């Protein structure tokens, strides 16, 4: 078989996979461990005046990165050392933890969309001898799907829509109350925390199917 014929076959397979993914509203799934987002002021309070977060590895969402720096989270009942910081710096500091983490820390963290931290518990963060108290910001991140406007058009969805996601694994589960977030700088991925990851038997490369209300009722 010549090279041209092979390229045609590969192209056809890719097109068929794309059609299938649009039909099934397929979404890659990622598990997010506990992590912190820091404001510019809090970066300097923890690491020193003029310090800027140092990228260590790019994340799936464009412009987002894992930092070389780490931080300790402290609560009334416990602490977590060596917690990841995700950059770039944000307007306000927040800690995204699981429900299990919240129990271990001794705080009642609400389920919230990232960035919506009003009336959430305060949290202590430390690096070496430096310690700060964020007046608010401890949340359990609401499970959500990032997608571009093109993805949303293909899937027949819209920003802030609530959907369900059926997970393809040996521990099949349907996650309900999943928030759709649409932006031209996003990459198509669903994010769940480690409690949710354990519940569905998460593995790298896992995918799911986005279900709308009518499809959920048939399940």
pLDDT in tens, 15-63: 444 445 556 899 999 999 999 999 999 999 999 999 999 999 999 999 9
| DSSP-derived secondary structure letter, 152 | H
CA distance 206 to 28: 6
Which secondary-structure segment (H or E) carries 150? helix 149-155
What is the pLDDT at residue 132?
A: 97
Residue 10 has pLDDT above 70, yes or no: no
Residue 112 has pLDDT above 70, yes or no: yes
Residue 8 has pLDDT above 70, yes or no: no
Res. 9 pLDDT band, cuts 50 70 90: very low
User: Mean per-residue pLDDT for 183-199?
Assistant: 97
Res. 218 pLDDT band, cuts 50 70 90: low
Residue 14 has pLDDT above 80, yes or no: no
DSSP state string for the chain: --HHHHHHHHHHHHHHHHHHHHHHTEEEEEEEPSEEE-BHHHHHHHH-TT----EEEE-SSTT-EEEEEEEEEE-SS-EEEEEEEEES-BSS-EEE--HHHHHHHT--PPEE-TT--TTPPPEEEEETTEEEEESS-EEEEPPEEEE-HHHHHHHT--TT-EEEEEE-SSS--EEEEEEEEE-TT--SEEEEEHHHHHHTT--TT-EEEEE-HHHHHH-
Tokens of 13: 């397979």
Q: In the chain, pLDDT over 70 holds for what percent of residues?
A: 86
Tokens of 33: 């461990």
Q: Of 126, 75, 64, 118, which is closest to residue 97 (Cα–Cα)?
A: 75
Place of tokens 């202590």: 124
Q: In the chain, pLDDT over 90 holds for what percent of residues?
A: 84
Residue 122 has pLDDT above 70, yes or no: yes
CA distance 194 to 192: 7
């Amino acid at each position: 078989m010549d090279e041209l014929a092979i390229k045609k076959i590969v192209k056809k397979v890719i097109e068929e996979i794309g059609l299938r993914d649009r039909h099934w509203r397929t979404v890659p799934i990622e598990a997010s461990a506990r992590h912190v987002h820091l404001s510019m002021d809090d970066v300097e309070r923890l690491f020193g005046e003029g310090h800027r977060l140092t990228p260590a590895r790019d994340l799936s969402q464009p412009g987002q990165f894992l930092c070389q720096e780490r931080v300790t989270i402290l609560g009334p009942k416990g602490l977590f050392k060596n917690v990841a910081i995700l950059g770039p710096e944000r307007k306000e500091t927040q800690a995204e933890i699981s429900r299990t983490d919240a129990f271990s820390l001794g705080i009642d963290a609400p389920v919230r969309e990232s960035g919506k931290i009003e009336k959430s518990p305060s949290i202590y963060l430390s690096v070496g001898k430096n310690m700060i108290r964020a007046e608010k910001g401890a949340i359990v991140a609401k499970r959500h799907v990032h997608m571009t406007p093109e993805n949303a058009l293909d899937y027949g969805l819209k920003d802030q829509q609530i959907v369900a996601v059926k997970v393809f694994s040996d521990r099949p589960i349907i996650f309900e109350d999943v928030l759709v977030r649409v932006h031209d700088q996003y990459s198509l991925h669903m994010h769940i925390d480690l409690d949710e990851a354990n519940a569905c038997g998460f593995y790298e490369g896992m995918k799911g199917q986005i279900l709308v209300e009518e499809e959920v009722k048939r399940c």
